[in-house]
Amino acid sequence: MDTKQFRRELHRHPELSFEEHRTAAFISEQLDLLGIEHCPIAKTGVLARIEGRRGNLKRCVVLRADIDALPIVEKTGVEWASEVEGVMHGCGHDCHAAVLFGVLKRLKANPDFEGTLLAVFQPGEECNPGGAKYVLEEEPFKDYDVAAVIGEHVDADLEVGEIGFCPGKFMASTDELHFAIKGVGGHAAMRSRIKDAVVAMADFIMRLNTFNSDDCVVSIGRVIAEGATNVIPDKVTSQGTMRTFSEKLRARVKDMIANVAEEIEYKYDVEVEVDIRHGYPCVENNVQLTYEAMLLAESRGFKVRDLEMRPTAEDFGYYTQVYPSLFYRLGVGQASGRSHTAMFLPDEKALDVGEEFMYQLALSILNK
């Protein structure tokens, strides 16, 4: 099976986070056919291993691809469209897994390299706390000297043949925000008899909005007030996300949210419940590893793009906290559309680019 066929098979049968049972079984089946050693990891993931013919086998490179899909109804209309109602590979994880499969296929065919290559087909990237956390909790690399952990993500802002890099801090941490304000509801016309949770929540959200800057995002995407035109509800809830680029700022913003909550309680005589659910850490690329990868990409004829820090998040950040790591962006072209939408359709020519670069990068690090 070639890389494109592998990708299309995954795309036809997408599965949500930590439900990737069929996906893992398919990956295991294909690895068996290639004679690649593998085992389960992180509930519904797969860990593969290929030993080189020479060198210190305790020294390793880890390649990582996520495998979960999104709750989206696909509307691409392609022959290999999702056959699972309401679930779609709308973020390109099928491409990531296919690229990794292609790399493993080539390395197994010719394991003339030093050390050991480990590959993680990782589940649950699209939800907190993230599959990467569960991978690391199993300590699968504890007996190895990890030279690098490598991951990629498709990017429609880059054209096919372009690869984007950002040395150092690259992607933000993420935390889920869950708030509830409890007041005293009643007739909307009888203001003196109510403690208005709707107004309190509106003020609270506007105060949170002032936290937004180049280094911090606090966005509320959902507000629920079960009232009516003439009914003020007892309770209003809201949910959102918080992103920062440092653990110090992350902690400070959480304290600022708590302080605003106290001020809202005092101002409106209501009760504010704050539930901040800790998510992924920042993705911080190893600077030396990143520059070496950029030079390699240029030498192999790929167009290197310098990327800025971005407030999107990735559970790959867990790996960057522990090991020298690199997370880069693989161009799939603007014609692919926007990810996380029903029409996202990456250009499959990018699979060859992704496979070739990851293969060369793995060999370069292993044989260094």
Question: Helix, strand or coil for residue 259?
Answer: helix
With the C-alpha atoms ordered 280, 217, 165, 2, is the resulting torsion angle positive or negative? positive
Structure tokens at 149: 């952990």
Which one of 125, 126, 152, 314 is the catalytic residue?
Answer: 126
Look up 271 and say whether it is catalytic: no
The answer to whether 302 and 163 are in contact (CB under 8 A) is: yes
The span from the CA of 306 to the CA of 265, in Å, is: 46
CB neighbour class for 117 (10 Å; exposed up to 12, middle 13-18, buried from 19):
buried
Give the largest CA-CA distance in the chain: 81
Beta bridge partners of 178: 239, 275
Neighbours of 173 (CB within 10 A): 21
- Integer angstrom CA distances of residue 294 from 48, 107, 172, 183, 283: 26, 22, 22, 56, 18
Kindly give the pairing relationship between strand 59-66 and strand 145-155: parallel
Which one of 15, 66, 284, 347 is the catalytic residue?
Answer: 66
The answer to whether 289 and 166 are in contact (CB under 8 A) is: no
Look up 37 and say whether it is catalytic: no
The answer to whether 271 and 182 are in contact (CB under 8 A) is: yes
The answer to whether 332 and 92 are in contact (CB under 8 A) is: yes
Q: Got the DSSP string for 291-323?
A: HHHHHHHHHTTPEEEE---BS---TTHHHHHHS
The answer to whether 227 and 253 are in contact (CB under 8 A) is: no
The answer to whether 4 and 351 are in contact (CB under 8 A) is: yes
Catalytic residue positions? 66, 126
